Amino acid sequence: MAKVKNKRNAGLADRVHNKKKAEANKKKLNPFEVHINKEKLKVLGKKSKHDRGLPGVARAKAIQKRKETLGTEMKLLNKTNTFIDRRIGEKNNQISAEDRMIARFAAERVKQHSKKSIYNLADDEILTHRGQTLEQIEKFDDPRSSDDEDEEKQFGGLDNDFVSEGHFGGGVLSKAESKDGAKSHKDLIEQLIAESKKRKAEKQKEKEQTLDLTEKLDSEWKDLQPVVFKKQKVQEESLIDKLLSKAEKGQDYDKMMRELRFEKRGTPSDGLKSKEKQDEEERKKIEELERQRELRMISEEAVTTLKNAKPPKHRSADDLDDNFELEDEKEFMLAYDKDGKPLVPEHVLKDYSVPNAKKVFDDGVSDTSDEEGDNEEESDEDDNEVEDGNTDEKNEATKSEDSDEETSDESESEQETEKSNKKGSTKNRSENLKESKGSKRKHSSNSDDEIVSSLDNSKKNKVKSKTETESLQSSESKSNKLNSSNDKNVSDEENDEDEDDEDDESSDDSKDGSDDDSKFNNLNDLKGSDESEDDDIEDSDEKIGAFFEIKSVEGDNLKELLTGKTPSQHTIALQKLIKSYDPGLSENNKELLSRLFAHLLQYTHDVFSNVSEEGDIIKSFLIFDRLVPFFYDLIHINKVSTKKFLVELLKEKYDAYKRNPKKVPDLNTLIFFKLVSTLYPTSDFRHPVVTPSLIFMSDILTSARFTDAYSVSRGFFIVSLILEYTVLSKRYVPAAVNFLRGVIYLCANTCVLNPVQVVPPFRLHKSAKILILERDCSHMTAERKMAAKDLAATEIDDSLKIRCILTATLMLKEFFDNYMEIEALEAIFEPHIQLLGRVDLDLYPKKVSKKISEVVTYMKQNLEVKTYTQMSRDKVKPKALRLYEPDIQDVFTGSKSSKLSKENADRARLQGKYKKEMKGALREIRRDKAYIASVKIRQKIQSDNIRKDKVKQIYKDASIQQGELNKLKRMK
């Protein structure tokens, strides 16, 4: 009743109930089906899976499974074929036929995009053109032959008029016209034929002409090829040439094609860069160099610490964390180059003195590895030229093998004649040179004539030269001499070729020079007449040509070349000299130029020696100004030997100075410090030239006595150079700071009672206060800079005193700024400030006193702001304990035979497993057998039953028949 009453609720409840029931049904086991396996030994905490089983269910499952597998197999037993329908959507009746097709097409496309064919784009699609595949079309035949087809026009090349007339017969009107013309059809046709023949002939002719032209062009191209393409093997080419000439016309094409295919293509050279690009590259290069320079500024130790910060690449498992590093330097293989010098890395050379190896500083030979690059860059163009020339010559040689000997003879004789000429009179030489001015080809042809003319000369001159060389043997070894003269031949030739260009340049330069000169109007004596320069230069050409002839007089040569000239003329002369001995022109030139460097040093020394007048000093500096770029050039040509020369010079100067360390060296020593700073990077932590010169300067400042105008002005000169040396690195140079302190001390009023310490060479109360201003100079105009006249000054006048203190203060400020980072700033500069405070500023010109007080307040302020933090070390991180790989041991397998060895235990375990599996498999097979038997028995029973039924039926039928028969019988 309740159900009826509350139907909705009851339904819900029912549903819930049913659900629960279903779940319960599912899970609920028939207790009669559960079979409990008896446990023999109870192990505590052991989870047993097999404590209970459902034999009925399990059996049913197994049977079901067998039915699906073994049963179906049995069904198909002894059947040869199976039929599987895999058409997509075939069995599915719901899909329409169209959808089915679409699905199949999609599947096909998907298949195509399988992984294998992902990169074969359009592999399957064969592209066609007019029904032909492209492959068939692309036969790369001779393009000439295709001309014919192109020419072929419609209707066999007949005119449109004709066609329209002839083919279509024309209308009434046209016929009438034809009649007028009185031309029969036959005539017409004949005319047509004649015309077409004529045209064909014309075409044929034209074609032949173009063919000829093409061939000609080809042959010319062949000639050109060696010129255009670098480095071709001569032998090969000549072979090909021969073959080509021999071969018939038909083979020509194949040859050509093959040749083109295997031929070395011209090596691609860098395209010409635009100006911006070049500038950009230049800038980048310089930036890189700057970066390297800054790196070199740091000391090696700091660098090593920086390096150490990087984690090592590899850590051994045995690493004990003690920063021990295995030295696994790569072993190098000892090899020798063609000169018999070992090819050994630089550092090895340094560490072990390999007997064969030349010392690093021995001469300019060993440094080639470093420098070659530079030189190559510089003389790239020249190299190319030379190489081109070489290949040219080679070609000639190969082409005209017969004439080869001749040419070689020629060249030899040429050399000889030139050599002899050179040693002979200069007139002869100039003739020779004039002749050689022509182009190379011409030159060779000319040489025949030349030989005739100069052979006689050479004979004469040879005798002469012999005597000369003998006379020279004392000064120089013979072989050396000959070499150098040989080289000169080459260089001379080049020389003359260059000459024209140079003349242009030099004229440009002279213009520049005159511009520059106009700056120094006040020095009229220096402004030589530009017009006469050219004459001078021509004179000097001869000197240049013979510059290095005799070793002993090189220096004199240079002196002769340069003395009595204006600075701008110096530039031109040197430019010419250096260019004519460009290292690209001859091997020896490098050495010659380094010798030139030494002579230039000597010349500089001479220029600055014994200059006591202001004008002389200025002139010397002007000359030096012009020399500096050439020093730079020369030093780039041969780093090592030029460095050697400069260092030797410094050493010599230093020894001379040490003989009397209390006297400041004169300008002919000091100028080289300036030279060093222009040539070498002064910021390097250690540098073979810069460091010694710094030591030298510091020595001068610490031990010389500054008691007169001469020494004080030179002291300032040195200090400004020291500033220049340390402008980038900001290194601390006590000697310079002390010198400034001393100079300010000399300017200041100090009394005995309240002394301010000074550092030797200045002595408290002992140094005479030579710089102190005694009278009021407040109205004097002050010059801002020290000047050349100060270097020449013998007496200290008031203006010099003023300049001294001004310069000292300005320098002091710069040092102060340089050392701003140093914590001990106060300790360094406090005495200076004190001393500056004692200077009687009222006496000085207003500008100067203002400047000084500005600097003092600036320094004071900065010192006030300066804070001091006690030095402490970076906290050292505690080293983490190293963790090791976990030590994995065998898991206890619980097998009884734990005493067995590992292999045996494994073996036993595997055997146990195998046994188990075997057992299970046998059981399965047995059950399969049982299943098969049961199926078979069932089938048999079934067929028996059918047979029985049929028998029964038969009996039944028979009995019915019998009964009917009997009935009939009975009825009868």
Partner 1 sequence: MAAVQPNLSKMISAQLRNKANEFLNSRKHANNLADILQMFEAETENYTPLLLTIEVIFTELLKRGDLIQHIVPLKPIDHSPEAEYTRWLCECYEAAIVRALECMRRGKTSSRLQALVTACKLLQAEGKHPLEHTTGYFFPSVRLKNIFLVLLDSETSMSAPITRFQEFTEYRDMQQHGLKVLAALAFRKSPSPIYMQNFLELLDKLLAAKIPLDNKGKGKDRDNDENEMKVLCASEGKPNFPYNPAVCRRFANRCWSFACQWPLCEEPRTHRRALLLLVERLMPLLNRPHLATDMLCDSLDAGGPISMLALQGVLELVRHHNIDYPDMYDRLYAMFEPEMFATRYKKRLMHLTDIFLSSTHLPESLVAAFAKRMSRLALVGSPEDSKGLLQLVANLLLRHPALKRMICCEDTPAIMSNDPYVMEESSASRARALGSSLWEVRALRGHWEAGVAAAAARVLAAAERDPPLSLALEEDSALFDAELKKRFKTIEINFIRPQTMALPSGERLLQYWELTA
| Nearest CA among 604, 594, 669, 602 for reference residue 633 | 594
Residue 227 and residue 221: Cα distance in Å, rounded?
10
- Quote the least distance from Cβ 694 to partner 1, whole Å: 6
**CB of 787: closest distance to partner 1 in angstroms?**
4
Least separation in angstroms between residue 817's CB and partner 1 is 12
- The nearest distance, CB 319 to partner 1, in angstroms, is 22
User: What is the C-alpha separation between 598 and 642, in angstroms, rounded?
Assistant: 7
Side-chain-side CA neighbours of residue 278 (13 Å)? 6
Pick from 448, 466, 445, 455: nearest CA to 421:
455
Q: Which structure tokens are listed for 164?
A: 């329209």
Of 433 and 562, which has the nearer Cβ to partner 1?
Answer: 562
Q: To the nearest whole angstrom, how small is the minimum distance from the Cβ of residue 535 to partner 1?
A: 26
Q: Which CB sits closer to partner 1, 583 or 681?
A: 681
Q: Which is nearer to partner 1, 433 or 735 (CB)?
A: 735
Q: Which residues pair with 551 in a beta bridge?
A: none
Report angle CA 528, 530, 532 to the nearest 5 degrees.
Answer: 90
Q: Which is nearer to partner 1, 874 or 890 (CB)?
A: 874
Q: Which is nearer to partner 1, 153 or 283 (CB)?
A: 283
Residue 561 or residue 622: which is nearer to partner 1 going by CB?
Answer: 622
Of 617 and 772, nearer to partner 1 (C-beta) is 617
To partner 1, the closest distance from the beta carbon of 671 in angstroms equals: 9
- Least distance (Å) between residue 382 CB and partner 1: 19
| Residues 565, 891: Cα–Cα separation, whole Å | 100
CB atoms within 10 A of CB 529: 9
Contact between 639 and 370 under an 8 Å Cβ cutoff? The reply is: yes
Q: Which is nearer to partner 1, 433 or 649 (CB)?
A: 649
Element (H or E) spanning 350, and its range?
A: helix 346-351
DSSP state of 899: T
- What does the alpha-carbon distance between residue 653 and residue 693 come to, in Å, rounded to a whole number? 10
Distance CA 515, CA 496 (A): 28
**528 touches 565 (CB < 8 A):** yes
For partner 1, the closer CB: 285 or 440: 285
Rounded to 10 degrees, what is the CA torsion of 446, 449, 454, 459? 120
CB of 298 to partner 1, least distance (A): 11
Strand ranges for 127-222 from DSSP E: 128-129, 132-133
In sequence order, what are the residues at sequence separation of 6 or more whose Cβ sits closer than 8 angstroms to the Cβ of residue 347? none
Tokens of residue 830, six digits: 């406090």
Strands 35-36 and 52-53: antiparallel
Least separation in angstroms between residue 853's CB and partner 1 is 20
Nearest residue to 741 via CA among 790, 800, 694, 809: 809
Q: How far is the CB of 760 from partner 1 (least distance, A)?
A: 4
Query: At closest approach, how far in Å is the CB of 878 from partner 1?
Result: 16
Calpha distance 757→274 (Å, rounded)? 62
**Cα angle: 941, vertex 944, 948; to 5 degrees:** 135
Burial 480-499 (b: 16+ CB within 10 A, else e): ebeebbebbbbbbbbbbebb
Least Å from the CB of residue 876 to partner 1: 11
Q: Which amino acid is at 823?
A: E
- Tokens 């018939």 — which residue? 248
**Closest separation between CB of residue 794 and partner 1, Å?**
18
Task: Name 343's bridge partners.
Answer: 335
Stated as kind and residue range, the H or E segment containing 35 is strand 35-36
d(C-alpha 303, C-alpha 296), whole Å? 9
β-pair type (35-36, 335-336): unpaired
Closest CA relative to residue 878, chosen from 321, 325, 324, 304: 321
Cβ proximity to partner 1: between 181 and 878 the closer is 878
In the bound state with partner 1, the residue whose beta carbon lies nearer, of 651 and 967, is 651
Partners of 35 in the β-ladder: 53
Instruction: Give dist(CA 445, CA 440) in Å, integer.
Output: 9
Q: Return the number of the residue (326 or 871) whose C-beta is nearest partner 1.
A: 871
Least CB distance to partner 1 at residue 732 (A) = 5
For residues 863 and 935, which CB has a smaller minimum distance to partner 1 in the complex?
863
Nearer of residues 123 and 864 to partner 1, judged by Cβ: 864
CB of 290 to partner 1, least distance (A): 8
**Shorter beta-carbon distance to partner 1: residue 229 or 732:** 732
- Minimum Å gap between C-beta 899 and partner 1 is 57
3-state class (DSSP) for residue 130 = coil
- Judged by CB, which is closer to partner 1: 687, or 769? 687
Residue type, 450: E
